[in-house]
Amino acid sequence: MKNSNTIITSAVASLLALAAIGAQSTAVAADKMDMEKCYGVAKAGKNDCKTLSNACAGHSTSDGQKDAFIAVPAGTCERIVGGQTQMPGM
């Protein structure tokens, strides 16, 4: 009998954990919709997507590389020194 209770308790705990993870990822997805690209402020190797000189995230070669961006909450980029919401030259 004790073994059955342990299995049921574990199953319920697992379902609750999965529900919490699902709710968290939904919240993260909603947050990402209010993001904007901020060019010229990423540290070297910390950009979020490809640049004109490479095809992968995390491969910018210098701090503040003008064609590298990071995603920031909407309205934040204009408050960062050197940040631009459009790639320079576009």
What's the pLDDT tens digit per position in 49-63? 888 877 888 888 889
pTM for this model (two decimals): 0.58
What's the pLDDT tens digit per position in 30-51? 456 799 999 999 999 988 988 8
3 state SS for 2-69: HHHHHHHHHHHHHHHHHHHHHHHHHHHHHHHCCEEEEECCCCCCCCCCCCCCCCCCCCCCCCCCCCCE
User: Taking the domains of the chain in order of start, what are their residue ranges?
Assistant: 1-33, 34-90
